[in-house]
Structure formats: structure tokens, C-alpha cells
Chain A
Amino acid sequence: GAGVSQSPRYKVAKRGQDVALRCDPISGHVSLFWYQQALGQGPEFLTYFQNEAQLDKSGLPSDRFFAERPEGSVSTLKIQRTQQEDSAVYLCASSFTADSLFFHLSSYDEQYFGPGTRLTVT
């Protein structure tokens, strides 16, 4: 079946431009995560949605970063007035079907990651 897809795969932006990165999660997954991965580092959490509700945005580095998931499926990460330090790979992951979340008594579900969007700010 289809996995998590992200678009575009590569984006070059001039400093100060706004960018929008799209994530299509696995159909039926209620949880959606965004991570940022700098070169040579592990991914770092940005924000988390359960359906359309943004339950945690503690990892967003500044108010220039904004994420939405208006219908509980596709999500968009928007970065306004991009800076060079925003250059990174942005990863999206999804997990949990509605059934497993409702009956969730154990403490595990794997996250499925997309291939990422590599953003380069020049």
C-alpha cells in the first residue's frame, strides 16, 4: 500500500521567501508528526497532530513556523521569511489508526516516515 509521501522532495528558497511543505500520511492514520533533521544529526521533533487538532507544537523553533492539518489528513508545514538556519530535511511521520488509538492499552505504535523534503535556503 501507499506509504507517507512528501512534496516537494527538494526546495531551494532565497532568504526571506515563504515556503510550504506538504505531507500525505498513510490513509486512516490519526497521528501526524513533523521533524526537522539538520545535516549529520538525528531528527528533532517539531509538532504533532491528532486528527485535525495540533496537540503539541513545542518543537517549532520560532513563530515563523506554522503547521496545519485542517481535515485531519494532509498536513502542511509553512515557514515564513526563511533564514539560512532553516536549511534542513523536514520529515513527516504518521501512526495509529482510529481503532488502535481508541483501544490503546499498550504503549507502542511505530511511526511511518516519508522520504523528507530537503530545504536549502540561499
Chain B
Amino acid sequence: DAKTTQPNSMESNEEEPVHLPCNHSTISGTDYIHWYRQLPSQGPEYVIHGLTSNVNNRMASLAIAEDRKSSTLILHRATLRDAAVYYCIDHFGNEKLTFGTGTRLTIIP
């Protein structure tokens, strides 16, 4: 299974942008890059995904390196509700999701 690597934890001030990095050293050509997050005491929730191009949605932006070996999830203006564990996952089709340990994001008021 493809495994990604992320920092264990990050902190950010409230209302500032947050850049969460991920390395995709074993990503295959058909894998999409997915980001999920898990708020305290909840199941994971989908955030965003992309293949090669940068992507934006109402929750976040995703920047993908040209060689696809790294990606960055961007929260443009972090709020306290964004405090969560963020997971980047290489994923294809209807396969199971292979989670790593993720990045625990702490938002400082």
C-alpha cells in the first residue's frame, strides 16, 4: 500500500493561513491525492482531492508538485474549528483508504 509521510504536529494562529505538507514518495501514476481530516471524537471527513493540477474548494486549496511527490493542503484562514488531525492519502478508485498517523493541527486563539 502506498504510504505518505507528514509531520506529526503543527500549530497555527487563528485567522492565519496554514500550509500542511505531505510527501508521496511511492505514489503511482493512477493514484489521486486525497486529504481527509478527523475532528475530535468524530470519524474522518473528506477535505479535497487532486491528480496533477492545483485544486480549490470551499474548505481548502491543494497544491500538487509537478512530480507529484509532494503536496500541500492550504487552509486560507484557520479557525478554531479547523483543529483536527489531517491525513493525506494516495488513493485509486473504490479501494480502501490507507491512513498514516496524520498531522495534528493545533489552532492558537
Answer whether residue A93 sits at the interface, using C-beta atoms and an 8 A cutoff.
Answer: yes
C-alpha gap A53/B98 in the complex (Å): 21
* CB of B48 to closest CB in A, whole Å: 10
* CB of A16 to closest CB in B, whole Å: 28
Contacting residues, chain B, for A61 (C-beta < 8 A): none
User: A residues within 8 Å of B by Cβ?
Assistant: 4, 31, 33, 35, 40-45, 48, 50, 56, 59, 91, 93, 95-96, 101, 104, 107-116
Contact B94 A56 (CB under 8 A): no
Contact A116 B43 (CB under 8 A): yes
Specify the main secondary structure of chain B where it touches its partner. Answer: loop
Asked if A114 meets B94 with Cβ closer than 8 Å, knowing A42-B102, A108-B49, the reply is no
Contact A115 B43 (CB under 8 A): yes
A-B interface pairs (CB < 8 A), number: 65
Contact B93 A104 (CB under 8 A): yes
C-alpha gap A31/B44 in the complex (Å): 17
Contacting residues, chain A, for B34 (C-beta < 8 A): 108, 110
Number of B interface residues in the complex (CB < 8 A): 24
Contact A104 B94 (CB under 8 A): yes
Q: Point out which of A40, A42, A104 has the most chain B C-beta atoms below 10 A from its C-beta.
A: A42
Shortest Cβ distance from A44 into B: residue: B99
Contact B43 A93 (CB under 8 A): yes
Shortest Cβ distance from B104 into A: residue: A40
Contact A48 B93 (CB under 8 A): no
Tell me which of A43, A107, A112, A113 contacts B32 (CB under 8 A): A107
C-alpha gap A69/B12 in the complex (Å): 43
Asked if A96 meets B44 with Cβ closer than 8 Å, knowing A42-B87, A42-B102, A108-B32, the reply is no
Tell me which of A33, A42, A107 contacts B30 (CB under 8 A): A107
Contacting residues, chain A, for B30 (C-beta < 8 A): 107
Contact A43 B49 (CB under 8 A): no
Contact B101 A107 (CB under 8 A): no
* CB of B98 to closest CB in A, whole Å: 7
